[in-house]
Amino acid sequence: MATGKIRYWAAAKDAAGVAEEPFDAATLGELMTKITQNRAELARVVRRCSFLVDGSPVGKRAHDQVILAEGATVEVLPPFAGG
């Protein structure tokens, strides 16, 4: 189990109601389950999001396979419009 912080951007920030919060989770999949529990709007938004873990894109990797290190920073990035 790792502790760290999760940062929300744009629509994810609005849905979460905070810009960032601490987390306690072993994998990105576990973290997604925890942050969306009882937060239906955030759950809806994160389904469309991409993620960075310590600055590295998660890409198409299964979230349950993305191990979070102690002190990790997870960025939740909704799709952005524009160029």
Indicate the pTM of the whole model: 0.93
| 3-state DSSP assignment of residue 42 | helix
Nearest Cα to Cα of residue 9 among 60, 39, 54, 50: 50
The domain defined by 2-77 folds into Ubiquitin-like (UB roll) (3.10.20)
User: pLDDT 10s per residue in the chain (83 long)?
Assistant: 899 999 999 999 999 999 999 999 999 999 999 999 999 999 999 999 999 999 999 999 999 999 999 999 999 999 875 54
Determine the Cα–Cα distance for residues 4 and 38; give it in Å rounded to an integer. 21
* Domain boundary assignment for the chain: 2-77
Specify the residue for token string 């993305």: 66
